[in-house]
Every structure is written in C-alpha cells, then in structure tokens.
Amino acid sequence: MRFTDRVAIVTGAASGMALLSSQRYAAEGARVVLTDVNEEAVQAAAAEICAQGGEAIGVPVDVRDYEQVKGAVALALERYGRVDILLNSAGGASCRVFGRSERFHEIPIEIVDWGLDVNLKGAVYFCHAVLGPMIAQESGVVINMGSVDGVTGSYCLDYGAAKSAMIGLTKSLALYGAPHGIRSCCVSPGPVLTRPEMANMKTRLGRAAEPEEIVKLILYLSSDDAAFATGANYVIDGGRSIGGMT
C-alpha cells in the first residue's frame, strides 16, 4: 500500500496505461482523480474503481483548455485537500488519431496544432495548475509520459517533437521543484500492447510490452521507493531505441 492517503491526478485515464495506472494507484491506497475528454468513459472507469473498493472520481477534461484543467485540480483539492501525484498521460499520435498518411508539410496545420496541444501543452497546463498546491505542501511527484519516438524521432513530426519536449519539461520541473520536495520523472515506452498493431513494431527483445510492464515502472517512480529519482527519462522500449532496426 505505497500510496495510502495520497491523491493522484491522472490524465487520459479512460483507457490504456493511464486507466491501468489509475486502477493500480487506487489498489495501493490512493484516492484517484481520473480525467479524460471522454466524459462517459472516464466516469465509468472511476465507478469501476469504486466498485472494487477504491476511491476515485471521474472528471471530463479537455487538456487543451486551461480552465478545465484548473477546474479538475480545484475539484481534487476541494474533495481531498491535496495533490501528491500527477501522471500526465493524455496524448496520441495525430497522424494515427486522424488517419492521415500525407507527408508532414501536406497535413492541415489544425491537426499539427492538436498534436502539440494534446501531447505537450496539456501536460504543461496540468503542471502549472498543480505546482502551487505541491509547493505549499512541500511534496509531490510529476510523471510525464514520453515515448521512444521522443528519443529516436518520428515521421509524425509533431508527435516526435512533443514527446521529446516532455523530456525537457521533466528536467525543468525537477530543477524547479527540487527545493520544494517535488520530483519529476519521464517514462518513454516503446510499443505497448494497448492496440493490436503495436505487436508489429520491432524491438530488440522481439515483442511489444504488456501494459502492466510499463505501469509497474510508473508506480515505482511515483512512490517513495524512488525518492532519490528526479529529472531523468526512463526508456522502456525493449531495446528499440538502440538503433539498427530494419
């Protein structure tokens, strides 16, 4: 029970690794504020955690809207009195989400804006909203979800750029937060079996990761077990970023 009496905010929490992380936080004692743009799905996810004996609320949030972000943090503070963990997990490759296969310079700029806003600006917004409460309580952990594409680059340029920037955001947060007991770490997965097509992405280990393998790292970094870890990017990609994949 590493997270007893702690409060975690998770973005993109209606599905994938963010949902699994939310469930694991709750199972280890955290009170979890799940946020996602899909109102029905995020409230159902929170209700399921409660049905399993955990404590959670689901809040509809578009991470591109700072007022919604600020409102979610205010609700967490009103309900639970503090914010101990922020997991910035909302995101997605714009090329995949919108089904675009054109060359980058042919993609409508509105799609590029979506990619930058959801994958980077949303994380910056949530960091801005939680840092005040974390500084006041002299503690906190921010986990930013990067990607191997932020290390190797990506043909979906806005996605690669945003995920690379998450590493810089993490380092900057670590510098800013250290005097106040606030840590920041980035987790950069390779292919994960949250979607079937991920199984076709090559790694040195010859497979994609199970979601649980990534979530175990997220929870470790969120916990006091990692109390001396801050400012680093943790690549967990089965060796994909080593290079030489054909």
Between the alpha carbon of residue 53 and those of residues 28, 29, 30, 125, 212, the distances in Å are 11, 10, 11, 31, 20
Are 140 and 84 in contact by the 8 Å Cβ rule? The answer is: yes
Query: Token match 């949902």: residue?
Result: 19
Q: Is 190 exposed, middle or buried (0-12, 13-18, 19+ CB in 10 A)?
A: buried
Side by side, the strands of the sheet bearing 7-11 are: 55-60, 31-36, 7-11, 85-88, 140-145, 182-189, 233-236
Taking the C-alpha atoms of residue 218 and residue 105, their distance in angstroms, rounded to an integer, is 35
Q: Which of 80, 125, 159, 234 is catalytic?
A: 159
Taking the C-alpha atoms of residue 141 and residue 49, their distance in angstroms, rounded to an integer, is 22
Q: Is 159 a catalytic residue?
A: yes
Are 77 and 134 in contact by the 8 Å Cβ rule? The answer is: no
**How many CB atoms sit inside 10 A of residue 196's CB?**
8
Q: Annotated active-site positions, please?
A: 159
